[in-house]
Amino acid sequence: MIQEIKSRDNSLIKYVNKLKDNSFSKEEKKFIIEGIHLVEMAKNNLLYVLTEKKLDEKMYPNQYLVTKEILEKLSNNKSSSSVIGICKFIDEKDDYDGDILYLEDVQDPGNVGTLFRTALAFNIKNIYVSEKTAYKYNLKVIQASQGSIFDLNIKILNIEDLIKLKEKQYKIITTSLSKNSVYLNDFKFDKNQKYIVILGNEGQGVSQIALKEADIVLKIRMENIDSLNVAIAGGIILNSIYNK
């Protein structure tokens, strides 16, 4: 099905524009992606595309040909993309095979998307997030993730229920700059052990319950500055687990 839309006031265009609002996206269980790279990655969840130029009909049977002005209205970028996709929510599951990343109130979409991308790079495919962590289908999160969300299992879980996963033979790792924390360089990960890595809010760090329940509290040795961006710190720790 290929249809043409020329008016910015078309009902479908208004609907797609509303999907940029996180609350409406959650209600409709749909989200927006921008750019051909993400559209190609989203093939299993893609409902339809809005495009300035006709795409391969076999790959994209549901297309709306729209004007550049319409794409500019819908785009979240300074330079609008040539194609926008509308996707259904990605299926979620409970999977306790392998290490887990938990984001506790990490609020910057760029950090969250970068951590999704980094987790996938280091073969951690199960990610749990707190309710206050940036919305996984936020446009900025998806762009920062470089489409990795389509290969990840990402679910909301409160910290109390996360702690219960220790019953499934997980050990919890978190971070703190406390003098009692163990330097990452001095800690040896067990290749036969499953870990949950908890990363906390950009300003406040991890919660007291996370610190209390952690089996290991780590810190990264550094000079000339007293802290690292959460996405950078997370990348260093996830790389260490990957190489255990």
- The CATH code of the domain that includes 36 is 3.30.1330.30
Domain end point (choices 28, 62, 88): 88
pLDDT over threshold 90, residue 242: yes
Give the DSSP letter of residue 167. Answer: G
* Residue 93 belongs to a domain: no
Res 95: pLDDT: 78
Q: Do 113 and 226 fall within a single domain?
A: yes
Provide the domain count of the chain: 2
Domain end point (choices 88, 119, 149): 88
Q: Which domain, by its residues, includes 24?
A: 2-88
The pLDDT tens digits of the residues spanning 158-186 come to 999 999 999 999 999 999 988 889 999 99
Give the C-alpha distances (Å, rounded to integers) separating 224 from 189, 202, 228: 27, 19, 11
Domain end point (choices 88, 116, 138): 88
The CATH number for 194's domain is 3.40.1280.10
* Residue 61 belongs to a domain: yes
The share of the chain scoring above pLDDT 90, in percent, equals 85
Q: Do 79 and 138 fall within a single domain?
A: no
Under 8 Å between Cβ of 161 and 135: no
Q: Where are the beta strands (DSSP E) in the chain?
A: 2-4, 30-34, 46-51, 63-65, 83-88, 100-103, 126-129, 153-156, 170-175, 182-183, 194-199, 216-219
Res 179: pLDDT: 86
Q: Do 134 and 213 fall within a single domain?
A: yes
**Measured distance CA(31)–CA(21) in Å, rounded:** 9
| Dihedral (CA of 45, 54, 138, 176) sign | positive
